[in-house]
């Protein structure tokens, strides 16, 4: 397993992050425990969960099975989504954050969280309130680093600017959807993260399973994440587009040439993209887990990587195409 520093910090994390969104739900406790143990045994140290995953069961399972190896693990969780019917049971207010961290610590069975992330921007709470609450958690020792997820570029930059101006702890990471079939972050977020030294930890790095190669044109799936999600980012309505199937065709061809699986090719491509620290992969079965773990410790040939780049690239858009004309070559 290879490692990288997360953003502008000295925190070393494995190049793959084990996602636990299905733990306690689609993935039962025994299979979840097996994945956690194998991940740590193979050098992985970065595990991501959230207070909302499987109604808190995910945090409970993760906490239970890292307990004896807690010091080895970089434990990440998130706060913001609704976890109770109470009027203050969601959001990024000081109350929600303070209540949320205590509840997460209890479920995780630990006294500190390595990376505490705001799950989604909260337009109803002043960003200063959110950042001050997070800074207080770092000062208290309950949290060691902070990050965010699902932010627009201006929201991230505003947060970083306020943190720098106020002397608060700043976000070291951005958890954002990013894959061969979803490269919208390339428009502004990737260059912003490069400039501000914020590490990107992509979610849905396989496009909700689309890039595994098990889906075909004209065949609506009835199972798996794409078959069960009726709405949302990883639903079939967003994935079953001609441009995505064209990308998948390239992935399948590259997989055949390299002797790797489509999932391994897709994850390996992602590992070499700018600012990408650790893709967050999920697995419903141990076989999927083992396949995904096979995406590290090798490199795609440059010619094949370029084919994937070209197949998945965003259209040449203003103002990027305009600004690129004025770059100095010295």
pLDDT in tens, 13-44: 999 999 999 999 999 999 999 999 999 999 99
Give the SS3 label for residue 285.
coil
Structural domains in the chain plus CATH codes:
3-211+273-300 (3.20.20.100)
CA-wise closest residue to 280 among 154, 173, 172: 173
Q: Is 151 a catalytic residue?
A: no
Average pLDDT of the segment spanning 174-189: 97
Q: Are 28 and 15 in contact (CB under 8 A)?
A: no
pLDDT band at residue 189 under the 50/70/90 scheme: very high
Query: What percent of the chain has pLDDT above 90?
Result: 86
Cα dihedral angle (98, 76, 172, 179), rounded to 10 degrees?
A: -130
Query: What percent of the chain has pLDDT above 70?
Result: 96
95-123 pLDDT, tens digit per residue, is 999 999 999 999 999 999 999 999 999 99
The one catalytic residue among 5, 53, 145, 171: 53
264-285 pLDDT, tens digit per residue, is 999 999 999 999 999 999 999 9
Kindly write down the DSSP assignment for every residue of 15-54, as one continuous string. SSEEE-TTBTTTB-HHHHHHHHHHHHHTT--EEE--TTGG
Mean pLDDT for all residues in the chain: 94
By the 10 Å C-beta count (0-12 exposed, 13-18 middle, 19+ buried), 313 is classed as exposed
pLDDT band at residue 230 under the 50/70/90 scheme: low
- CA–CA distance, 64 with 286 (Å, rounded to integer): 19
Kindly tell me if the per-residue pLDDT of 172 is higher than 80.
yes
Q: Are strands 46-48 and 280-281 parallel, antiparallel or unpaired?
A: unpaired
Model pTM score: 0.93
More confident residue, 225 or 77: 77
């Amino acid at each position: 397993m290879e490692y990288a520093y997360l953003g502008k910090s000295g925190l070393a994390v494995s190049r793959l992050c084990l996602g636990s969104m299905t733990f306690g739900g689609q993935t039962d406790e025994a299979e979840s425990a097996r994945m956690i143990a194998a991940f740590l045994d193979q050098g992985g140290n970065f595990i991501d969960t959230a207070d909302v995953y499987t109604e808190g069961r995910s945090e409970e399972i993760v906490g239970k099975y890292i307990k004896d190896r807690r010091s080895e693990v970089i434990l990440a969780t998130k706060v913001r989504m609704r976890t109770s019917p109470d009027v203050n049971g969601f959001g990024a207010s000081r109350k929600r954050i303070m209540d949320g961290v205590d509840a997460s610590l209890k479920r995780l069975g630990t006294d500190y969280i390595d990376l505490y992330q705001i799950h989604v921007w909260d337009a109803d709470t002043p960003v200063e309130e959110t950042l001050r609450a997070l800074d207080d958690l770092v000062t208290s020792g309950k949290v060691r680093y902070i990050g965010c997820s699902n932010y627009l570029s201006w929201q991230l930059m505003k947060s970083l600017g306020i943190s720098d101006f106020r002397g608060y702890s700043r976000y070291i990471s951005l958890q954002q959807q990013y894959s061969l079939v979803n490269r919208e972050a390339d428009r502004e977020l990737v260059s912003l993260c490069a400039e501000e030294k914020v590490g990107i930890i992509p979610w849905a790095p396989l496009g909700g399973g689309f890039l595994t190669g098990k889906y075909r044109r004209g065949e609506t799936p009835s199972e798996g994440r794409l078959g069960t999600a009726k709405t949302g980012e990883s639903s079939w309505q967003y994935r079953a587009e001609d441009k995505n199937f064209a990308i998948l065709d390239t992935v399948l061809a590259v997989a055949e040439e390299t002797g790797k699986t489509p999932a391994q090719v897709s994850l390996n491509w992602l590992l070499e993209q700018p600012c990408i620290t650790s893709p967050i992969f999920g697995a419903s079965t141990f076989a999927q887990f083992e396949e995904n773990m096979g995406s590290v410790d090798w490199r795609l040939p440059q010619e094949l990587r370029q084919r994937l780049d070209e197949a998945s690239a965003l259209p040449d858009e203003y103002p990027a195409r305009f600004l690129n004309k004025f770059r100095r070559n010295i």
